Amino acid sequence: MKPVVVLVGRPNVGKSTLFNRLTRSRAALVADAPGLTRDRQYGDGRIGDRPYYVVDTGGVVTSLATARERGDVVSHVAAQVRAALAEADAVILLVDGREGVNPIDYQIVSDLRRNGKPIWIAVNKAEGRDPATAVAEFHALGFGEPLAISASHGEGVVELMRRALATLPATEENEPEEGVPRIAVIGKPNAGKSTLVNALLGEQRVVVCDTPGTTRDSIHVPLEREGRRYVLIDTAGVRRRGRVEDPLEKFSVLKTLQAIDEASVAILVIDAHAGISDQDASLAGYALEAGRAMVVAVNKWDAVSDSDRSWVTRELERKLSFLEFARVHFISARDGVGVGALFPSVDEAYASAHRTMTTPKLNRVLLAAVTATPPPLVHGRRARPKYAHQGGKNPLRVVVHGNQVASLSKSYRRYLANTFHKAFHLMGAQVWIDCRQPDNPYQGKKQDAHASRRRSSHRPPRKNA
């Protein structure tokens, strides 16, 4: 499993800025107003060859134990911080290098000592200052050598993560056995994931009840069907972060994200009776970004009236249009209706994600696609894709070479992906387009010529003899 690094600290010390820096995203809101982050937020980071999860938390304004009894926003933030610390392999305490040590910093340190996890102090907002001077007074917190960083400028961030990860065991590459699909069953709480797993297994293997959140951890179950082996992963339901307050749910989100990372195929289970929610789309988006092959199972179809079935179908097309490459099954996990058809779709998606696409055919498809719909002009210039080859499997990658291809828009790359998808009959697997263009051999010469012209234009007039 990838290690989990949790960011904690007072409000407005730069935790969300550092989170965005580490995840190379803008997922966390950043502003000068304190208290913007309330729920914990998860992201993927990597330093060199070391991947990890990073967790952003809300600003701590009092003791975590004291906040438990308040019953307001402060207690909610504290509950989220406690849950994040329980998940942590390492903790980074951010402090404000401009303001110096604050009494709340000492209170946070006291809470962290009881937690017992490795702790690193990052003195943020230290840009333009001597590092030794910036960290001097923070030695008083008693956690070794503080490190001066600037989350907004990136200074010291790589060294900080190297220190934090150096104390943790290396990530084990848990590669699945060749040819054995690992199927992660994902979805909201009470969507019927455990019921579906039991139906796929043909036995009552995991606990099922009507209470949302019964499954607390990811459960790996090997099975064999018609001579082929699989591994089923039943995951905890992912709710909106604002509703994850029960300490027993503290591992649910992280374990589900880890299960998606481990899987080769994800079955997204949707509660037809509840409709398609933003959380369904968010979870599907994470699986999509992880490169997983996908199958969609719309559960409890027997509980939906005929008039509502057409509405659910339209909602699928509207909210999950980005999963158009995945097969959709309408099932009843409780009664076993339609469950058997999921295995052929899983096999199909797994095979598609591991398909070998020959270079000659890729080039023929690319030429036909560009001829039918040329790339749009960008700044008066048109990209010229020339040839393509396969760059990887699971997820499938197609590398497109040519002039100006780096300027191809997302919509045109999606057009190319859909074209390759149809040409190679890839059902259940997505296609990623990587664009590579040669370096401009005249780039440096043009700059030198411009500099030469500027110098000549500023030469002083020659004196008359």
Tell me how long the chain is.
465
In this prediction, residue 214 carries a pLDDT of 36
Nearest to 153 by CA among 125, 130, 176, 116: 125
Joined together, the tokens standing for residue 187 give 């979805």
Total Cβ atoms within 10 A of residue 27? 13
Total Cβ atoms within 10 A of residue 386? 15
CATH topology of domain 4-166: Rossmann fold (3.40.50)
In this prediction, residue 248 carries a pLDDT of 33
Joined together, the tokens standing for residue 199 give 């139906």
**Strand 327-330 with 293-299, pairing:** parallel
Strands across the sheet containing 396-403: 384-392, 396-403, 431-436
Q: Which CATH class is domain 182-351?
A: alpha beta
- Sign for the pseudo-dihedral over CA of 165, 129, 59, 256: negative
Q: Which residues of the chain carry a pLDDT beneath 50?
A: 28-37, 174, 204-217, 237-251, 465
In this prediction, residue 438 carries a pLDDT of 82
In this prediction, residue 219 carries a pLDDT of 63
For 157-187, b/e burial (b = at least 16 CB within 10 A) is beebbebbbeebeeeeeeeeeeeebbbbbbb
- Per residue in 294-335, pLDDT (tens digit) is 999 999 999 899 889 999 999 999 999 999 999 999 999 999
* pTM for the predicted model, two decimal places: 0.64
In this prediction, residue 423 carries a pLDDT of 95
In this prediction, residue 29 carries a pLDDT of 44
How far is CA 159 from each of CA 45, 147, 163, 166, 256, rounded to the nearest angstrom?
Answer: 14, 9, 6, 10, 29
- Per residue in 236-289, pLDDT (tens digit) is 544 444 444 443 343 456 767 878 888 899 999 999 988 898 888 888 988 998
Total Cβ atoms within 10 A of residue 251? 17
Is-same-fold flag (4-166; 182-351)?
yes
CA 193-42-62 angle, to 5 degrees, is: 115
DSSP 365-417: HHHHHHHHSPPPEETTEE-EEEEEEEEETTTEEEEEEEETGGG--HHHHHHHH
Q: Which CATH class is domain 359-436?
A: alpha beta
Looking up tokens 């080859």 gives 389
In this prediction, residue 392 carries a pLDDT of 92
Domain ranges of the chain: 4-166, 182-351, 359-436
Q: What is the C-alpha separation between 85 and 82, in angstroms, rounded?
A: 5
